[in-house]
Amino acid sequence: MPEAFEQAINLQDLELLAQHNLDQNAWEYYSSGADDQITLSENRLAFARLKLRPRFLVDVSRVDTRVSLLGLNLSSPICAAPTAFHGLAHGEAELASARAFQKFGSIFTLSTLSNTPLEGVGQAAGHHFWFQLYVYKDRELTKALVQRAEQSGAKALALTVDAPYFGHRELNERHHFQLPSHLSVSNSGAANDMGSQDANQGSQLAAYARRLLNSRLTWADLEWLRSITHLPILVKGILTAEDAVLALEHGASGIWVSNHGGRQLDSAVSTLEALPEIVQAVGDQLEVVLDGGVRRGTDILKALALGARAVFLGRPVLWGLAAGGEAGVTKMLNVLQTELELAMALSGKVTLADLKPDLIFRSIF
């Protein structure tokens, strides 16, 4: 591995290496948000604004980060959010990312828009992964995806509900994002060709979504999805207590607090800010997870203290993959895991169950 990779000690180092290794098309696709990128920035700033209340004189010689998530026993609450097109970062694409998470003992979530067929990713993940689902206008195609996910060992489905249309990602529009000719949307059968007719008319991906994905998605579709699968279903993209309650009423197994990495509705609330009202709304009835802006062990500490069961990483997985393939993803995970364990110890917390809202400082000003 190059010296710069060996010397990387945090996620920012890996991000800089990734930027160096990626071409402009890939870098802008991975890194950009919608419109003025306010929500993209707020996902990080929300963590920075929260302060911690550490406790001392606690035996922290052993810190335990194990957690149970929808019945799965994990070594850590650090999991992979679904991100499209890992082939832009590395030749082994989603296979490398899935192997890293499998060895780490956590969950890899495969995107519908992956460059690698889900059967291969299921094998690389040890038949221990989640599958993120976009609902196509072609319901039979959607049903086939669910069945393939089940057969490949998926343990849950993450139904993405915040993208009836793809957000206005200006860099992708201005520079006409498109997949290189050797990559495709490999899971969608007859719809796997993103097409070239829109390549010079904005983002190729946005055109693909308008053409094929279902913009009429409603709560009735969640009930339909429940009727065709035995897998637990998380509703991904929830930002309000009201929608969390509706998800519970319509049979969801979990709530995934997400604003799509700041790539959909700009000025939407950050995920960390949205988390407390959602946890309060569903209580212990549903497990709640979060993505968006997690870059440090202390970020994980804050999210878990506010009620998230686990955190899911999007861009950091891609930075690790672009920086060093499977080894890069593994390094990213180990860096964050070490930071989490240290942050817990320095806060006087020994297990994840010790992380409660009283860890968060509430200003009186």
Active-site residue flag, 182? no
Choice among 86, 90, 128, 260 that is catalytic: 260
Residues sharing a CB contact under 8 Å with residue 235, sequence separation 6 or more, in sequence order: 159, 161, 222, 243, 247, 252, 254, 255, 256
Between CA 126 and CA 112 the distance in angstroms is: 18
Question: Which residues partner with 291 through β-bridges?
Answer: 312
**CB neighbourhood size of 62 (10 A):** 9
CA distance 250 to 285: 13
Pairing of strands 310-313, 78-80: parallel
Is 284 buried (19+), middle (13-18) or exposed (0-12) by CB count in 10 A? exposed
Contact 266, 33 (CB under 8 A): yes
Looking at the chain, list the stretches that DSSP marks H as alpha helix, in order from N- to C-terminal side.
Answer: 3-7, 11-21, 24-31, 38-49, 93-104, 118-124, 139-151, 170-174, 204-212, 219-228, 241-249, 271-282, 297-305, 315-347
Active site residues: 260
